[in-house]
Amino acid sequence: MSDDALTQVVRMLAEVVGEDFLLDVEIGRDTTFNDDLGLESIEFVALADRLREHYGDGVDLAAFIAGMDIDEIMDLTVGDLVDHIAATEAAHA
């Protein structure tokens, strides 16, 4: 389940930031959105839209990060998001 979510998140990130950018970056669970990918807020919004399109309203990126402090948001990893997706899907199964 989380492997599929990881694959989907990586695909969505490629759509958001462009595959050319990702040629120099290997995305894994420990990849951070801020330091490693340098995601801009508009790219985060685009990622949130893609997540909602694929997983439905249950995977709400804005709601997920709303409960975090700024340090947690800055340190957010792809794995954190994948775990959130897996937990959300398990809760709705």
pTM recorded for the entire structure:
0.89
What's the rounded Cα separation, in Å, for the pair 45 and 62?
8
CATH of the domain at 65: 1.10.1200
| 59: Cβ contacts below 8 Å, ≥ 6 apart | 51, 52, 84, 85, 88, 89
Q: What is the pLDDT along the chain (93 residues), one digit of tens a residue?
A: 568 999 999 999 989 988 777 777 789 999 999 999 999 889 999 999 999 999 998 899 999 999 899 999 999 999 999 999 999 988 887
Query: Alpha helix (H) ranges present in the chain?
Result: 2-17, 19-22, 41-55, 61-66, 70-74, 78-91
Q: What pLDDT does 67 receive? A: 87
Q: How many domains does the chain have?
A: 1
pLDDT at 64: 93
Q: What domain range is 9 assigned to?
A: 1-92
For residues 21 and 69, what is the distance between their CA atoms, to the nearest angstrom? 28
